[in-house]
Structure 1
């Protein structure tokens, strides 16, 4: 039996964003992602934002496969990245995306839980108002920085 190979379908940036949204939904079903195609000079870029959920590193593991170019500052230009993504109903496709910006927002509740985890780890009370400016001598850094680290890696301050 002889099969024929067909060239992968080239996706538009809009179609790439839709495929990326679907991949994120499958990987992290409990998280609501906003996936938007850029406009104007950024029309080949995609913005991904979400609240709480997985670390940005885990999300970038998914988004990296959807970039068709990467910026190279040494030449002030882009290099092609040969990636293929599988899209339901279309098979293997070439994405069209010069870059993906990922932004993770932290809800007040999530930030409070991370602050509680850091405070328990160091055996201290959560600093009063403007705790992001409170210096923690035991850690050699600022409380806000520690909370950010705890939000990024939930196991870092686990007991």
Structure 2
């Protein structure tokens, strides 16, 4: 396992946003992402929004290691992370320091290649928000209705009658649309 004892180069949030934009464009061609920085007292974050396209989890896989901080809700503590950055392969977590109750602290064996450089991103958090277009919402409504045994034109307030998108007794088609949108990408 490689040690990260060498000093890391600091990358500010504006540069991190440029790198994120580059890797999102390469990974999801045809999807328009808005990548903006937010500065606040004591830190900065990068905010990413897009419509349809990949799921939030798919975008998180590309952008997660660009965050210089992590948060553990179990302990209500923030902790730091350094990353390996390679222009070809993107960012990967190199080491975490602090309060992760799942004990993922320490050096991560994640260096992709010899070109990877140890960096500390000064963007504390990467916020992701996927928007759903009316057209995609309609596709999801029809999918949820079909999988739940309802007519294809069932209204959003209709209660579900089983199927993979019903978690509670009083769930509606609208609830199912949200659940389907979390796991369903839409190609551009």
**TM-score when scaled to structure 1?**
0.79
Alignment of 1:8-157 (within 5 A): 8-41=8-41, 43-73=43-73, 77-87=77-87, 92=117, 93-125=119-151, 126-128=153-155, 131=156, 133-138=157-162, 139=166, 140=169, 141-154=171-184
Cα distance change of structure 1 residues 76 and 52 upon mapping to structure 2, 3 Å threshold: same
Where do 5+ consecutive residues of structure 1 fail to align?
Answer: 1-5
134-143 vs 57-66, which deviates more? 134-143
Deviation at 1:109, TM superposition (A): 0.3
**TM-score when scaled to structure 2?**
0.67
SS at match of 1:83: strand
Residues 150 and 160 in structure 2, CA contact (< 8 A), matched pair in contact too: no
What is the count of residue pairs matched by the alignment? 146
Structure 1 consecutive aligned stretches of length 4 or more whose deviation exceeds 6 Å: none
Residues 55 and 184 in structure 2, CA contact (< 8 A), matched pair in contact too: no
Residues 111 and 147 in structure 1, CA contact (< 8 A), matched pair in contact too: yes
SS at match of 2:82: coil
Whole-Å Cα distance in 2 between the matches of residues 97 and 76 of structure 1?
19
Whole-Å Cα distance in 1 between the matches of residues 66 and 22 of structure 2?
12
Paired residue for 1:3?
A: none
Q: Name the Cα RMSD after superposition.
A: 2.5
Paired residue for 2:92?
A: none
Residues 34 and 48 in structure 2, CA contact (< 8 A), matched pair in contact too: yes
Higher helix share: 1
SS at match of 2:41: helix
Residues 66 and 83 in structure 1, CA contact (< 8 A), matched pair in contact too: yes
Residues 150 and 161 in structure 2, CA contact (< 8 A), matched pair in contact too: no
Deviation at 1:68, TM superposition (A): 1.2
Deviation at 1:136, TM superposition (A): 1.6
Where do 5+ consecutive residues of structure 2 fail to align?
Answer: 1-5, 89-114
Whole-Å Cα distance in 2 between the matches of residues 146 and 77 of structure 1?
33
